[in-house]
Amino acid sequence: MKKVLFIILSVALISVSMLPAAARNSMGLISVSVTDMKKAPDYQSETVSQATMGTPVEVTGKEGYWYSIITPEGYTGWTTEQNIALLSDGQMEAWKKSVRLIVKDYFAIVTALPEEGAPVVSDCVMGNIIGKGKAQSAAGFTAVVLPDGREGFVPSGSVVPLREWMESVSSPDGEDIVATARLFLGFPYLWGGLSPKGLDCSGLVKLSYFLNGIIVLRDASQQIGTGESQDCSRITETLQPGDLVFFGRGAADSRGRSVSHVGIYAGDGMMIHSSLRVRMNSLLPGLEDSYTSKQIVGATRILGCQDREPGIVTVLRHPWYF
């Protein structure tokens, strides 16, 4: 499976090199708090994922006012021109070297002036990356610049310097992953969701790991092929907090294994996952809160594998961020 994932990422890079020169190797930054990524350049097309403000993306094509993009983990989709800021190579390098901030609150509002009730410039969500502004900060507010150049102010307690954040999450353990996932208990399920505005099952995994400095693949069917495979038949004996547990159809029939759901093991036979909403359920049979709607088909350990294989990379070592 790991070889398959490597081939997929390689094919994506090759396909970019075959594009017309005008659409090749362009880089951009998502410039709104959250943008949907569509399967096709059409508002009625399926939402396959999302990308959040400050995420660096590669632009691989254009159709009307839609851009096809590749996210840092290699996921592809379409977003509109209003939601992305195109950057030259020089601008991208300047952004990577600039003082950036990461939003640590669930939600934050960027206002035109450093005062409550000022006109709104944009909203932000947890995990958004924005620039440190050049304007004079005021008491309780920090000057910021958004990826598309809009300027404003956010409450100082809502952001932390990106480098400082990187140092604080440089060595996360499983309990850190679980604690982050717990922040979203009760938040709504959203197909393709990847932010506090709504999360699908693999989106909860991806966001929980990203907020601990690790980029993982997007879908459950991809995530199961990364990390170190674990014996899921003895859950309480072999799994550790932060491990991923996968559900679907086993490989006993001619159709082969199919992965349709993922949760984060939280210890003591419990997992946290996004199903209808983000919630806790037992993985042990016979209990009132047992999650028995799907069959367990695998488990994997992500921690300890970062920067050692394709599909698991720290933000600090991803060349699109630093």
- Active site positions, annotated: 201, 261, 273
Residues 69 and 84 sit within 8 Å (Cβ to Cβ) = yes
Helical ranges in the chain per DSSP H: 2-17, 89-97, 162-168, 174-182, 201-210, 220-223, 235-238
The DSSP symbol for 187 reads P
Burial degree of 71 (CB within 10 A; 0-12, 13-18, 19+): buried
CA angle at residue 28 from 98 to 144, to 5 degrees? 40
Strand order in the sheet with 228-229: 228-229, 295-301, 244-249, 258-267, 270-275, 277-282
Nearest one of 186, 176, 201 to 263, comparing CA atoms: 201
Token couple for 42: 């059409």
Looking at this protein, which amino acid is placed at residue 95?
Answer: W
Residues 129 and 96 sit within 8 Å (Cβ to Cβ) = no
